[in-house]
Amino acid sequence: MTLPARAGAGPDGAGHLSGTISPAFEELFRTEYVRVVAIAHRVLGDQAEAEDVAQDVFVSFYRSHPANAPYGPAWLHAAAAHAALNALRGRDRRSRREAAQALPVDAAAVDDPSEVVAASETRDEVRAVLGRLPERSAALLAMRYSGLSYAEIAAALDVRASSVGTLLRRAEDAFRRELR
Amino acid sequence: MNDTDIVRALGATEPQVNTEDALTRFRARVESEGIAGVAPAARRRVTSRWLQGLAAAAGVVIVASALTLSGVADSVLKIFEPKSVVAVPITQSDLNYLGQACSGLNLQDCMGAYGTFVWTTPPQPKEVQSRSQASAEAGFAVQAPTAVPSSVTGDPRYGVINRSSATFTFSADSTRQAASRQNRTAPPLPANIDGSKLFITGGPAVVQIWGAPTGHSGQGGPDIPTLIVGQAKAPTISSDGVTVDQLRGYLLSQPGVSPQLAAAIRAIGDPSSTLPVPVPAELAISHPVTVQGVQGLFVGDNTGIASAVIWQKDGMMFEVIGSFTESQALSIANSMR
């Protein structure tokens, strides 16, 4: 996946600030943090890890982009999916046993221990499938199933809004095929 | 597996996050790691400057389109009619050279460095009050976007540039003199080019501007355009002898052309049907895009503050310029009806 092709502030951007976070950045953070976490959570299945990814994503944006850049939300959404998929692949490089231990199961949702085990295996497989899918397909699924609109997905992935439905169906088909 | 199953597989439970706690952690990290942030961009200044720059780049299309051939004999050979657009990177050294050669990049002065440029019917822009009036004045159906971002509000202003015409006659003497004024030696103008004429055609053109200053005091509205939409009959250039390949060869032999610009010009597959759009190499990005089912060109500044989409379809040139992301600019362009 390619992040929106935006370099740093560039020659016309203002300089760097140190120490203080601008009100504009705080507003962006408050507006987008939940959705950035949600996108990463769809990929990783782990809230703590998703929040770590979200913090890294906001730091990356803070370092090199003005808070009031019009592409801010789209950049953050794309970066959340990208960073989470990178984290997932890093996790996959570790042993399957370690990965299983790193994936807590929502035990409260299922009482039967056998269901807990089954749910855990399913979630492992889901993450493995996401890691195998093409980057854009996996990112698209994470964004859509975390609640982003077609227009927001189009902005994040730099595709036409009218193409999102088709791309999403293809990604879902690929996801189903891989999960069988 | 249906959509519900996918939702379940990807995790049905929404994460419960505390944004304020997260912001506190972010602040602490920024402070402890000494991370410097970028100050909010001075949007108005940047946007204004970049809209001017992009409007100037796109203006090449409009200006070229506003030049119209008239009264030229049938024997004249048409050597240029754009079917597509392509970016050519203009470096600072190109600008310096052109600026010296062309007295501030004025079209007439610039071409005057290589010969004699004469308007036979000069462009006369004027404002009209409605799209239908613009269509009537221009003689074609003026298209407008059917969907615009929320930042674009109000009604547009309409400008129409009439059909106009110009003739250009190459002169070896003018070329030598222009080069010597810069203490350079120009390559000799080939004999078959010296004295040959170009007849430049195009237009009319219509420009729609949202957020333009109204000219009335006390309005309190924005002082820079939020959206500029241009539409023009595609320009054509005819010649009484010289070919596009000969012109390209001569242009590339000029002493001030940077290797980057030369490479881009050489890379144009069919120079007789490709309109080069100059893009500042150090300050802007550009790449081909599909718009309205044809290949067009996206041009954006490095900060993502302003962008333009330019394309050619059915004998018309179109452009959309404003403070948009690439996808927003493309959505506007694709909504043109």
Contacts 24+ apart (CB under 8 A), A27-33: A27/A67, A28/A67, A28/A68, A28/A72, A28/A73, A28/A76, A29/A58, A29/B19, A29/B22, A29/B23, A29/B26, A30/B19, A30/B23, A31/A73, A32/A72, A32/A73, A32/A76, A32/A77, A33/A58, A33/B17, A33/B19, A33/B22, A33/B23
Q: What is the DSSP letter of A109?
A: G
- In chain A, the residue whose alpha carbon lies closest to the alpha carbon of B30 is A19
Q: Do A50 and B15 touch (CB under 8 A)?
A: yes
- Mean pLDDT, chain B, whole residue set: 73
Chain A interface, mutation test: which of B5, B16, B33, B38, most A Cβ atoms within 10 Å? B38
Residue B304 domain-assigned? yes
Residue B242 domain-assigned? yes
Chain segment B263-306, per-residue pLDDT in tens: 777 777 777 777 777 776 666 778 889 999 998 888 887 565 67
Beta-bridge partner residues of B36 = A18
CB-closest option in B1, B38, B326 to A64:
B38
Residue B263 domain-assigned? yes
Q: Which residues of A141-171 are buried (b: 16+ CB within 10 A; e: fewer)?
A: bbbbbbebebebbbbbbbbbbeebeebbeeb
Q: Which residues of A100-125 are buried (b: 16+ CB within 10 A; e: fewer)?
A: eeebebeeeeeeeeeeeeebbeebbe
Q: Taking CB atoms and an 8 Å cutoff, what residues of chain B touch A47?
A: 15-17
- The 10 Å Cβ neighbour count of residue B333 is 23
Domain extent at residue B244:
55-334
ipTM: 0.78
Give A154 to chain B, closest Cα distance, Å. 7
How would you write the pLDDT of chain B (337 residues) with one tens digit per residue? Answer: 566 666 677 765 778 899 999 999 999 999 888 888 776 554 333 334 434 444 444 444 444 433 322 223 334 566 666 777 777 776 666 666 555 555 444 555 566 667 787 878 877 778 888 999 999 989 999 999 999 988 888 888 888 887 777 888 888 887 777 777 767 676 777 777 888 888 877 688 888 888 865 544 334 444 567 888 989 887 778 888 788 778 777 777 776 677 777 777 777 777 777 777 777 666 677 888 999 999 888 888 756 567 889 898 888 889 898 888 888 899 999 999 9
Please identify which residue in the block is written with the tokens 């996946």. A1
Domain ranges of chain A: 23-179
What CA–CA distance (Å, rounded) separates B314 from B259?
Answer: 34
Q: Do A7 and B43 touch (CB under 8 A)?
A: no
Q: Which one, of B234, B258, B269, B295, lies nearest residue B78 by Cα? A: B234
Q: Do B303 and A67 touch (CB under 8 A)?
A: no
Q: Taking CB atoms and an 8 Å cutoff, what residues of chain A touch B294?
A: none
Residue B39 domain-assigned? no
Q: How far apart are the first and last CA of chain B?
A: 40
Structure tokens, B148: 């615009």
Residue B108, pLDDT score: 57
* Number of domains within chain B: 1
Beta-bridge partner residues of B300 = B285, B307
Residue B244 domain-assigned? yes
Residue B175 domain-assigned? yes
Chain A and chain B share a number of CB contacts under 8 A equal to 178
Q: Do B31 and A19 touch (CB under 8 A)?
A: yes
Q: Do B45 and A12 touch (CB under 8 A)?
A: yes
